[in-house]
Amino acid sequence: MTRYFFTLLFTVITGAVAAQTNIIGFTSENTKKQLELEKSFESKLNPKNLDEWMQKMSAQPHWVGTEFGRKNAEWIQKQFKSWGYDAKIETYHVLFPYPKIRVVEMTAPTTYTAKLTAVPVDGDEFTAQGDALLPSYNAFSTDGDVEAELVFVNYGIPADYEELDKLGISVEGKIVIAKYAGSWRGIKPKLAAEHGAIGCLIYSDPKDDGYVRGDVYPKGAFKNKTGVQRGSVMDMPTYPGDVLTPGYGATKDAKRLNREDAPTITKIPVLPISNEDAQPLLQALDGQVVPNSWKGGLPITYHIGPGPAKVHLKLEFDWQLKPAHNVIATMKGTDFPDQWVMRGNHHDAWVHGANDPISGMVALMEEARAVGELAKKGHKPKRTLIYCAWDAEEPGLIGSTEWVEDHKAELQQKVVAYINTDGNGRGFLGAGGSHSLQAMVSEVAGTVIDPQKGVSVKERKSALNRVNGGEKDFGLYALGSGSDYTPFIQHAGIAALNLGFGGENAGGEYHTIYDTYPHYKRFKDPEFAYGVALANTAGRISLRLANADVLPFEYEQWHQTVSTYLQEVINTSETMRREVEKHNKMVDENIYELAADPRKPFKKPVKEEEIPYLNFAPLQNAMAAMETSIAAFSKIDISKLSAAKRDDLNNKLMLAEHVLTSEEGLPRRGWYKHQIYAPGFYTGYGVKTLPGVREAIEQKNWTEAQEQINKLADTFNAFNTYIQKMSPLN
Amino acid sequence: MTRYFFTLLFTVITGAVAAQTNIIGFTSENTKKQLELEKSFESKLNPKNLDEWMQKMSAQPHWVGTEFGRKNAEWIQKQFKSWGYDAKIETYHVLFPYPKIRVVEMTAPTTYTAKLTAVPVDGDEFTAQGDALLPSYNAFSTDGDVEAELVFVNYGIPADYEELDKLGISVEGKIVIAKYAGSWRGIKPKLAAEHGAIGCLIYSDPKDDGYVRGDVYPKGAFKNKTGVQRGSVMDMPTYPGDVLTPGYGATKDAKRLNREDAPTITKIPVLPISNEDAQPLLQALDGQVVPNSWKGGLPITYHIGPGPAKVHLKLEFDWQLKPAHNVIATMKGTDFPDQWVMRGNHHDAWVHGANDPISGMVALMEEARAVGELAKKGHKPKRTLIYCAWDAEEPGLIGSTEWVEDHKAELQQKVVAYINTDGNGRGFLGAGGSHSLQAMVSEVAGTVIDPQKGVSVKERKSALNRVNGGEKDFGLYALGSGSDYTPFIQHAGIAALNLGFGGENAGGEYHTIYDTYPHYKRFKDPEFAYGVALANTAGRISLRLANADVLPFEYEQWHQTVSTYLQEVINTSETMRREVEKHNKMVDENIYELAADPRKPFKKPVKEEEIPYLNFAPLQNAMAAMETSIAAFSKIDISKLSAAKRDDLNNKLMLAEHVLTSEEGLPRRGWYKHQIYAPGFYTGYGVKTLPGVREAIEQKNWTEAQEQINKLADTFNAFNTYIQKMSPLN
């Protein structure tokens, strides 16, 4: 491209920008008002509040059912009331296991009894609260008492079991030990059980969040050798929320499953341990040396086993119903009270949870406080704003899920969008969610100023992308699971966003006794400048959704993104076909055996089933048709719409996301109804886009793949019709 | 491709193979004779000899100048004589430093004195020879006594100093500590000195050849925490061989440089240490945490420093002239006594050297013994065969280099090719060398049977390539440096090969006290089956070169390979240009600073000089012209040549490689005369093809790059003329 052409292009672009200064969904007149309102909102945000509130809410451990947790909820409610909100606590009664017995001991070839205790550290009194700290465990592990030889399974994800199979190693009847990371933790006991293991240990390898990454706490932010990550292993990819009340609210009198029948409790006992406790066990393993990519950071040669290390694992839990207190604070809209813009963050933590979740919670509260101040000065939102502080997120998104299940019908009629936050730190804006909101979020990101660099958070993120060799475009990532947006988008089909800053706040404190206020102040967001940036970003988004003349959903970027997902899925099947062809040829020609070292175990590979050609045309046609409809829809000039047409358009727009769901949901997990985004059945938090089609292909279930293609095409065609009908020109 | 077409193609190919059964360089009649001779040769190879001779020659340490080394040379001479060779010992007098004082101690913030001693291990009596073992050191380190803060520099290669510069860290006036591996060791003190460091430590990180790789000796083959790699740090990329007699033989009365003026002795003191000795030093470093890719396998957080660790390094050597005894064993050719086919392997070791070099030495001897047997039965080679056992390879290719320099004029007139071997093990054939020999080596590799798999070693290598995702073609790698082929090909311009098996014999014994017979028997080539395969491969190649009707040089594969080198060089300059453009744009737009974490040190990048367009046309035109000449040359039917024409052709062919050299050699290192292959000035052993052009581009010396392009084009044009003149049709 010549310099002349560049100059010309630049003129055209900047010219275009100068001409179109309206923000998405607002007329010229209201754009000006809205930007002034947002400026006023921003000016009210005060980092000192975040600091003070974090100290208060993270002073003691506050997992679901604790006294301190209840007090936090009541205090949050009180704050919201003082800011002018109609705030109530909605309580659900949810199954929650507390660890009574935890035993991990090596019984051969030497003996070792795991300590299962993280040490207090100098300069952080919170880590010395002794018995008040929740013992380290994985919630929703089944009870169990097992003893068997140990097998090291790397991260314990599907690729690792494929590798074990190639090496001729079975975990049948064994206890597996897996590293944390590589997938959501719940996948590890799930896959281990599917492969016949009878117990599972998960440990934090120093390569993943310990001394290999950086200095350990208290010198640095990373995990010392005694730190243990707590966390849920409930089978959330099947359904999250209370294990006894799938699909409906866990109200006091709700009908409940027997615990024995609850499908989302693990099949085998599982416990997390520190690397100090893992090292003697791993060191006692023999057998093959692990593949290179499996190696961790302990000063040992990693072997797979099985044995001679033999481990006894005994777990017993106190299974009780505990009250989960959700705080719901409402500010009624002046013009459209039945159109709800929802914001949420959880308030429960595994221990003190200064970062997870309090750093996000205090940002949400400061945002709500500023919105309340504006309202008191007469700037009430046109639509209803609802702020939520969820309980019981940590054990399995329970508070939010029960609430959404309980109110589902009303929410599906009234909610415009749900905006989620969770732990927050220093660095770059990460934003995920419905791609119909991408254009609006991008605009907002262009107005929020990064506290460290003085450019917009969008510009800063774009700089990071470029330094990492990527493009400078701002995009939303697709939502899988891992926080409270899941029941909204995945189950109820409500447009959702998840927002947070990070990337300059790495550490190993996640779900340990080290996630405390002193740790946060030293390593996360010392001045709460990014807490304010988060309140600013989420608040502007909420206020735009609340006040827009026409709801700021945009479908051209949506279409562009979904097209890349479709192309990925097509490419995946083609790559698989080429690889199977190549593999089968190499099996035929005995190539693997010729290349193998005869002094190492070798399992001769067998030929794989050839990959059939799938008919992607229904999807391709649907996408092509949508492109035309969306192009037409995008030409609407909102300033020329009558009030009635605008109202009608808004009523349709707010429900559009729901058209992308199917009532019967995904195969084998009907709770998940969204057809574009879902957590992976074997990745847990990690998203699978176009999940019905993609997972069927990945699992080589070709009949189902074609069924899911056709079903998704029906969904797309319905969405196309919906877009056509939305257009006030029709 | 359809099945029908496949079948058709198969028929065509196999048909073609059936029609052309002659081996390269032999008429039909002589092909049959030669293959029978080789079969007979192969049948005489006996692994028991290799085993017995290894035990004998590796019983005691035998570095240059030792009594045991001299005895080995005399014993080798005696063997050759007994097999019918005219064997003599040619002795050179070469400077060799023996360590008198070695002190490494940490003086702050705590103290630690390095042990500098590897421990004896159970089951290997050779490791318990105490004072008879050569102390661990780097030969041709300068004497020195320095004390300074320590800086960790990863592998201490150019990319690492670029990274340090980005991080704003200087090694000026410091002592650096570098990991072994990543480059030839001599690069580390060379670059450290260029950057102002005053001392250098090199240690073996467990990630590279210790417990991270696999079980350590004696349980497994890898380096235990006390093992230290010895090795030369002489500046071999400038010139190898005796440091005092550059370019001429180190005969008794040769004129010698003063040691102070020898340019290939390091500028700063350097010593290798174990990771047991390195760990306290590294652990005492603070400052920035190292980049991810720098992290090793010790159980510490790696920091760069400088300091607070302060190190005192004191080294003093006994600099003496030592006799280097080369054994030269000749079997005169019946038909062409003045055409020499040369084979060589060194006999000196750092300690016992069971693997390096004895495993290759015994294969060479068994090959020579079988050739001798054939000769005794009347099957003498047509050309002269010369077997060499070099001394003083370890300190800097000294024995071979002095011999080549001493006899250079004669060698350049008489040597057809030099075939080198060195340490050998179990696995896959690795073959490097002049690409004019690729077609012949490929043919031989197709006839040698792999002892483990029963297919040819060529097929087995091809299987490995395919399993690793590559092509199945057999190719020669390009020669850099690291063994005794260097003076032949790089300096004298004699076609050369380097052969060896490996890939299933990984370990950490290299240049340590653990490279012993028991280690070799357990982890390298227990049955000496690959020792025999090496003798078989090298022997067949030697015999083909010795007996060919027309010397088996082939230029179509040569041209194809050299064309890829040229394309690489062109691509390099284009990639550099794009990267500089991108970088400069990002500097202009302040992108790096926007993406940087303000809590970490950040040095603002500056704009780089734009990359000019070089005129590659002279090279491209030369390659195009050669393609035509080579195609014509390849059409020669050797069976139709008169004896005189054949003789003339052979006389030209044997000297063709020399046309690819230039008398003035490479810039700043005139000893290196080959224009296609050279060890990298900043990689050491690693090859740089088309070195004059490539290194000028890499160093961004554009004037020199264009000069070297033009010079190389002259060389290519001369080679083209030579090929045209070789053709008997002309």
Tens digit of pLDDT for each residue in A212-261?
999 999 999 999 999 999 999 999 999 999 999 999 999 999 999 999 99
Interface test with B, best of A293, A457, A591, A592 (most B CBs within 10 A): A591
Once rounded to an integer, what is the mean pLDDT over residues B78-103? 98
Please state the domain count of chain A: 2
Angle at the Cα of A120 (from A118 to A124), degrees rounded to 5? Answer: 135
Inside any domain, residue B3? no
pLDDT value, residue A473: 87
State how far the Cα of B207 lies from the Cα of B22, in Å rounded to an integer: 49
Given the DSSP bridges, would you call strands A310-331 and A86-108 parallel, antiparallel or unpaired?
A: antiparallel
Contact B41, B366 (CB under 8 A): no
Q: Which stretch of DSSP H or E encloses residue A146? A: strand A144-152
φ, ψ for residue B129, nearest 5 deg:
-85, 5
What are residue A303's DSSP bridge partners? A289
Contact B503, B530 (CB under 8 A): no
**Residue B212: strand, helix, or coil:** coil
**Which residues on chain A are in Cβ contact (under 8 Å) with B602?**
none
pLDDT band at residue B21 using 50, 70 and 90 as cut-offs: confident
pLDDT value, residue A683: 85
CATH number of residue B352's parent domain: 3.40.630.10
pLDDT band at residue B77 using 50, 70 and 90 as cut-offs: very high
Once rounded to an integer, what is the mean pLDDT over residues B232-261? 97
- Find, among B296, B125, B285, B295, the residue nearest to B211 by Cα: B296
Once rounded to an integer, what is the mean pLDDT over residues B459-487? 95
Same domain? For B288 and B436 the reply is no
Contact A557, A634 (CB under 8 A): no
Contact A595 B463 (CB under 8 A): yes
pLDDT value, residue A14: 38
- Find, among A420, A419, A421, the residue nearest to A360 by Cα: A421
Given the DSSP bridges, would you call strands A270-273 and A310-331 parallel, antiparallel or unpaired?
A: unpaired
CATH number of residue A197's parent domain: 3.50.30.30
Contact A496, A434 (CB under 8 A): yes
Neighbours of A588 (CB within 10 A): 9
pLDDT value, residue A729: 62
Once rounded to an integer, what is the mean pLDDT over residues A429-456? 98
Interface test with B, best of A301, A303, A459, A593 (most B CBs within 10 A): A301
Same domain? For B564 and B696 the reply is yes
State how far the Cα of A649 lies from the Cα of A545, in Å rounded to an integer: 14
pLDDT at B4 over 50: no
To the nearest whole number, what is the mean pLDDT of chain A?
95
State how far the Cα of B725 lies from the Cα of B730, in Å rounded to an integer: 6
**Which DSSP state fits A676?**
S
pLDDT value, residue B28: 94
**Which DSSP state fits A215?**
P
pLDDT value, residue A219: 97
Helix axes B529-547, B438-445, angle to 10 degrees: 130
State how far the Cα of B196 lies from the Cα of B172, in Å rounded to an integer: 4
Inside any domain, residue A613? yes
List pLDDT tens digits, range A321-362.
999 999 999 999 999 999 999 999 999 999 999 999 999 999
List pLDDT tens digits, range B566-597.
999 999 999 999 999 999 999 999 999 999 99
The region of weakest confidence among A677-686, A687-696, B260-269, B547-556 is A677-686
Q: Identify the residue with better confidence: A729 or B425.
A: B425
pLDDT at B452 over 70: yes
The burial class, CB within 10 Å (0-12 / 13-18 / 19+), for B317 is buried
What is the percent of chain A where pLDDT is above 90?
95
For A594, which of B220, B459, B598 is closest by C-beta distance? B459
State how far the Cα of B409 lies from the Cα of B405, in Å rounded to an integer: 8
In angstroms, the separation between the Cα of residue B601 and the nearest Cα of chain A is 13
In angstroms, the separation between the Cα of residue A598 and the nearest Cα of chain B is 7
Q: CA dist B183 to A647, B186, B248, B594, Å?
A: 70, 8, 28, 34
State how far the Cα of A383 lies from the Cα of B645, in Å rounded to an integer: 99
Once rounded to an integer, what is the mean pLDDT over residues B160-188? 96
State how far the Cα of B484 lies from the Cα of B498, in Å rounded to an integer: 9
Same domain? For B495 and B571 the reply is no
Same domain? For B645 and B542 the reply is no
CATH number of residue B713's parent domain: 1.20.930.40
Q: Domain ends where: A321, A340, A367?
A: A321
Chain B residues 290-309 within an 8 A CB cutoff of chain A: 295, 297-301
Contact B295 A212 (CB under 8 A): yes
- Find, among A102, A112, A270, A119, the residue nearest to A202 by Cα: A270
Q: CA dist A248 to A255, A324, B293, Å?
A: 9, 15, 49
Inside any domain, residue B171? yes
pLDDT value, residue B14: 38
**Residue A217: strand, helix, or coil:** coil
**Which DSSP state fits B640?**
G
pLDDT band at residue B729 using 50, 70 and 90 as cut-offs: low
Inside any domain, residue A82? no
Q: Which stretch of DSSP H or E encloses residue B356? A: none
Q: Identify the residue with better confidence: A359 or B20.
A: A359
Same domain? For B362 and B411 the reply is yes
Same domain? For B541 and B573 the reply is no
pLDDT at A653 over 60: yes
Interface test with A, best of B6, B303, B591 (most A CBs within 10 A): B591
Contact B698, B572 (CB under 8 A): yes
Same domain? For B414 and B278 the reply is no
Inside any domain, residue B561? yes
pLDDT value, residue A414: 98
φ, ψ for residue A106, nearest 5 deg:
-90, 130
pLDDT band at residue A5 using 50, 70 and 90 as cut-offs: very low
Contact A216 B301 (CB under 8 A): yes
Q: Which residue of B has its CA nearest to A214?
A: B301
Inside any domain, residue B692? yes
Same domain? For B39 and B124 the reply is no
Which tokens belong to B84?
């019918």
In angstroms, the separation between the Cα of residue B214 and the nearest Cα of chain A is 6
Contact A453 B598 (CB under 8 A): yes
pLDDT value, residue A21: 82
To the nearest whole number, what is the mean pLDDT of chain B?
95
Which tokens belong to A316?
């017993």
Same domain? For B125 and B170 the reply is yes
What are residue A666's DSSP bridge partners? A669
Once rounded to an integer, what is the mean pLDDT over residues A60-87? 98
Same domain? For B430 and B567 the reply is no
Q: Which stretch of DSSP H or E encloses residue A496? A: strand A496-503
For B298, which of A215, A299, A594 is closest by C-beta distance? A299
Which tokens belong to B398?
């000294």
Q: Domain ends where: A321, A346, A380?
A: A321
pLDDT band at residue A11 using 50, 70 and 90 as cut-offs: very low
CB hemisphere CA count around B668 (13 angstroms): 13
pLDDT at A305 over 80: yes
**Cis peptide, bond prior to residue A135, ω within 30 of zero:** no
Contact A299 B301 (CB under 8 A): no
Helix axes B643-653, B702-726, angle to 10 degrees: 170
Q: Domain ends where: A289, A321, A353?
A: A321
**Which residues on chain B are in Cβ contact (under 8 Å) with A585?**
none
pLDDT value, residue A728: 67
Count, residues in chain A: 730
φ, ψ for residue A107, nearest 5 deg:
-110, -15
List pLDDT tens digits, range B301-316.
999 999 999 999 999 9
Inside any domain, residue B432? yes
Contact A301 B214 (CB under 8 A): yes
Q: Tokens 């106190």: give the residue.
A: A318
Same domain? For B529 and B396 the reply is yes
pLDDT at A685 over 90: no
Same domain? For B90 and B118 the reply is no
Q: B97 — alpha (psi -120 to 50), left (phi > 0) or beta? A: beta
- Looking at residue B69, its amino acid is G
Inside any domain, residue B371? yes
Q: How many CB pairs under 8 A join A and B?
A: 87
Could you report the predicted ipTM of this complex, rounded to two decimals? 0.93
- The boundaries of the domain holding residue A722 are 556-726
